[in-house]
Structure 1
């Protein structure tokens, strides 16, 4: 039985709802296009914040006279804040109102963007980026949760596809927009550009998102699990740091952090089992749809990170492309994802989540296999075409998986489940950067992959995507076994046929 499913009898629920609406007045109808515009901008801003700073790291290193190890915290602070706080942000939205918390998150993100642009020193910039990441965690956790309140159920897939498109646009736009702003206006402009966009998002969200539901008179407010939230944040921070501080290697510090993360996870489970109002109910995680959805999301995101880790080295070392062409080829993936999002949503609404999930994963597996098997003599097209297949499959999978997981979630759990979905994706990206990078370095058999021979780099690329194909096959097996079957067609009336 799905623990998210509302088991209240339909007729009773409708009658109770009518009485409650009559008691407090009908809620204002939601103008769906404008509400989706605000949610889309929220998704675009949070993904833009992730990608736009990467291109500016060399400029920031010169501006603050800092080493790479120091300057990388401009990116890490943002990612760590999102990863550690996104589930807690989703739960807070469920308890205290998603609309007001989303407005607060957008306002915080916008103010932190201004602080980043005004930063007088590197520590100031890193601290402002952490605050910006907190705002982004709220935005990412609650944007998907709002779909169930603003869009008719039969159009949920299209809305999820649109949000996926905006996330891909933000990821693709970040490097090019950041580079242009740095060249024309200086590094501060790549943070300040988010201020007017944030204000527009705040205006749309305030004007068009549905008001928070009023709590029933006399109903007790569930408590917020502070201990569980702190434990989960520390556990996720330890894991994320273990995957990033070693730059693809696993030294003593990385191993110690992994041990701390494992211990933290065990302690978190014990605390949640004994808490009256847990951050994440353990029964929720035992739901097969949610469990399979989170596991598949993590596996697929790990594979997608391989394209970003391995792609630049293969294109520059194996194929001999200059930096400009490498950037152009790498933009193909996000462009395909952006173009595939809305069609993927329509396909999900028409054919169902299970069929679309399986189709997307099969396409990803085929693309990874092509990258493993196609010879390097095919040149750029031997890389671009399989990557396009992988990315289009990813768009199908992500839209269908998000729709399947969120479809049966109780309204009071949408925030935390949305946070878990985004967390699984972030953990997959963090894991992919480390694990797939280590596989690539090992298969290339070079002390430094940046100076490896073209043949060694090509071997490393093929081996890495062979591992990626295995990961996608695991996700396919999960989807086949655990994803919900489509509903059976109604039986024909007696006496017919």
Structure 2
């Protein structure tokens, strides 16, 4: 009711939604767009690939470190001014990346861009919860999930188009006007009330109560499983099934496309059926998809792999919309920034765990870390072991979610 009074105009709400969606798009686009330029950067700076990777790692590390800080600053000084500051940092850093004259300067600028992205990712979520109509919170979270998937999917494609035309600098130049546009929109479209409600920021231990911790733990596990598909998938498709690089890229695009299409419908289902039910269904689909990835492709080949992804990916979007809505449901306004930061942090920790720990499980299953020399059966064996473990993790996550729901019902 309060939010309807403040942000009831459809035109105003549309402007707010576009601003926050563009902010989330920029953060996710920055995550994926530089990856495709790594070979070009290695050639441009005459540097080994291992050193050029820091262009990607610096962004991800800075983003991971800054998300909770961004949330706490948003709670202390206002969500709107901190998002505006984040957009200004992101725009300036994108410009510095585009004009960088050496690899160390580019890495430093990418770290600064990652800090800005941390503010965008965290505060866009907090502001979306802050301004959304209570009956449409799930839909708002689903929209952010869709936009995040769109940015991640768009990055490599956009980079692939820009690099032949404008060189590696083009992937950063294109982000400058987008960030400036988002900055202008944030200044004029976001409600002033979001900058006036300032309160002393709550301590992390005050926020990390028993209601929130299960949401964060399950978020870590789900993100780890989703990253596993991105790490293991290319090796299984390329070596295990013998697909060409073009075919691998086409098959790997199925997941992001489904994410884009299923994000908003997932949010609508959360609004209609409630967070508990949709979170459970999302986790069941994730577990089923992971077990299918372990077993189905070995017999059905690429069709089995695609079918497994078709089951897994909507489960992820349902989970994201339900989990984010549930985590922010009963959080007071002065703590929403911090909780949004913790959600982003748990997701990033899960992505890192998926790339490292689950990658190590895959290597153990293959029997070597030199995947290029591994046989197709060895790759298939590693894939099976990794996704059996991923499916087991989703069953544990489902158990945690049910225990949390039962505990919440008893306490209420």
Match of 2:381 among 431, 455, 459: 459
Residue 403 (str. 1) matches residue 384 (str. 2): no
CA distance in 2, matches of 1:183, 1:486: 55
Structure 2 unaligned spans of 5+: none
Structure 1 unaligned spans of 5+: 1-9, 18-25, 225-276, 489-497
- 1:91-490 paired onto structure 2 within 5 Å: 91-212=72-193, 222=200, 278=203, 280=204, 282-288=205-211, 290-483=212-405
Whether contact under 8 Å (1:354, 1:485) holds in the other structure is no
CA distance in 2, matches of 1:158, 1:27: 19
CA distance in 2, matches of 1:214, 1:194: 26
Residue 56 (str. 1) matches residue 37 (str. 2): yes
**Structure 1 residue 162 displacement after superposition:** 0.3
TM-score (normalised: structure 2): 0.95
CA distance in 2, matches of 1:108, 1:368: 39
CA distance in 1, matches of 2:71, 2:21: 18
CA distance in 1, matches of 2:274, 2:315: 15
CA distance in 1, matches of 2:406, 2:104: 48
**Structure 1 residue 29 displacement after superposition:** 5.6
**Structure 1 residue 149 displacement after superposition:** 2.5
TM-score (normalised: structure 1): 0.79
CA distance in 2, matches of 1:359, 1:477: 12
Looking at secondary structure, tell me which structure has more helix per residue. 2
Give the 3-state SS of the residue equivalent to 1:380 in structure 2.
helix
Whether contact under 8 Å (2:366, 2:379) holds in the other structure is yes
CA distance in 1, matches of 2:157, 2:246: 11
CA distance in 2, matches of 1:438, 1:391: 23
Whether contact under 8 Å (2:80, 2:195) holds in the other structure is no
Whether contact under 8 Å (1:47, 1:167) holds in the other structure is yes
Cα distance change on mapping 1:484 and 1:200 into 2, 3 Å: farther
Provide the residue aligned with 1:227 in structure 2. none
CA distance in 2, matches of 1:34, 1:487: 37
Whether contact under 8 Å (1:354, 1:484) holds in the other structure is no
CA distance in 2, matches of 1:292, 1:53: 33
Length, aligned pairs only: 407
**Structure 1 residue 205 displacement after superposition:** 1.5
Cα distance change on mapping 1:445 and 1:214 into 2, 3 Å: closer
Whether contact under 8 Å (1:79, 1:133) holds in the other structure is yes
CA distance in 2, matches of 1:179, 1:215: 43
CA distance in 2, matches of 1:215, 1:381: 54
**Structure 1 residue 173 displacement after superposition:** 0.6
CA distance in 2, matches of 1:467, 1:455: 18
Give the 3-state SS of the residue equivalent to 1:95 in structure 2.
helix
Cα deviation 1:51-86 (Å, max 9, x = unaligned)? 001111111011001112211110111111111111
- 1:30-69 paired onto structure 2 within 5 Å: 31-69=12-50
Which range moved further: 382-391 or 441-450? Answer: 441-450
**Structure 1 residue 27 displacement after superposition:** 5.9
**Structure 1 residue 372 displacement after superposition:** 1.5
CA distance in 1, matches of 2:273, 2:370: 47
**Runs of 4 or more off by more than 4 Å in structure 1?**
26-30, 213-216, 484-488
Which range moved further: 203-212 or 335-344? Answer: 203-212
Whether contact under 8 Å (2:31, 2:60) holds in the other structure is yes
Whether contact under 8 Å (2:231, 2:359) holds in the other structure is yes
Whether contact under 8 Å (2:296, 2:308) holds in the other structure is no
CA distance in 2, matches of 1:214, 1:302: 35
Give the 3-state SS of the residue equivalent to 1:422 in structure 2.
helix
Whether contact under 8 Å (1:292, 1:479) holds in the other structure is yes
CA distance in 1, matches of 2:91, 2:393: 38
CA distance in 2, matches of 1:375, 1:324: 19
CA distance in 2, matches of 1:426, 1:469: 20
